[in-house]
Amino acid sequence: GQQVQQSPASLVLQEGENAELQCNFSTSLNSMQWFYQRPEGSLVSLFYNPSGTKQSGRLTSTTVIKERRSSLHISSSQITDSGTYLCAMDLNNNRIFFGDGTQLVVKP
Amino acid sequence: GPKVLQIPSHQIIDMGQMVTLNCDPVSNHLYFYWYKQILGQQMEFLVNFYNGKVMEKSKLFKDQFSVERPDGSYFTLKIQPTALEDSAVYFCASSPDWGQDTQYFGPGTRLLVL
């Protein structure tokens, strides 16, 4: 079954709006990561976030391990934020499972 | 920050031929991984590798697949023979430790099997 559930599947924003992306895990996990996948497919690691809150510029990640969830908040979205956001969980055996991703489109 | 390189970025090959995908991991990393993402689908784990050995592989890691890292050079994924369903983007990743650190991903190799 699907071990990593991401929501929403897609999101359309006007430039300047905020976005909240969610990730839920069906099993206990060792850690989790957020990635940005560019339209051409390459991956950028955003956060490695076993627990708690981390911030980088306009991005904030909050993970609550015991509740098996993580969120990614994008503030003041820009057109260049468009792409796919993937969350992935790392089980104790070091295998990473990816969610289906959230497709974000930011319009001018 | 640390970077993982993948060569080539794109590869087109005829079905039945052999292909080798190359990964240049972060220099002091010890653990290496391959992932496969078919266009429009979820990215999925293929295999992880440590100390010259496959530690774990998924059901997607068919008998036609093999990995190696001879003498600390490239970490390679070889497919022999290739099949149409092998068309995908293959991502390499490396990490310094087991389960303690983030995996650093390469930009991917887009493989098209005709």
DSSP characters for chain B? ----EEE-SEEEE-TTS-EEEEEE--TT--EEEEEEE-TTS-EEEEEEEETTEEEEE-TTS-TTEEEE-GGGS-EEEEESS--GGG-EEEEEEEESSSSSSPPEE---EEEEE-
Which residues of A have a CB under 8 Å from any CB of B? Answer: 30-31, 33, 35, 41-43, 45, 48, 86, 88, 90, 92-101
Q: Is B75 on the interface with A (CB under 8 A)?
A: no
Residue B100 has pLDDT above 60, yes or no: no
Residue A94 has pLDDT above 70, yes or no: no
Confidence of residue A93 (pLDDT cuts 50, 70, 90): low
CA distance A92 to A82: 32
Region A10-31: mean pLDDT is 91
Of all residues in chain A, the percent with pLDDT exceeding 70 is: 91
Q: What is the pLDDT of residue B98?
A: 61
**Stronger pLDDT, A22 or B58, i.e. the higher one:** A22
A92 CB neighbours in chain B (<8 A) are 99
CA distance B9 to A68: 35
Average pLDDT, chain A: 88
Residue B71 has pLDDT above 60, yes or no: yes
Residue pLDDT, tens place only, A48-86: 877 899 999 999 999 998 899 999 999 999 999 999 999
Q: What is the pLDDT of residue A97?
A: 84
Residue A42 has pLDDT above 90, yes or no: no
Q: What is the pLDDT of residue B19?
A: 98
Residue A20 has pLDDT above 80, yes or no: yes
Min distance B80 CA to chain A CA atoms (Å): 24
Region B16-20: mean pLDDT is 97
Q: Is B35 on the interface with A (CB under 8 A)?
A: yes
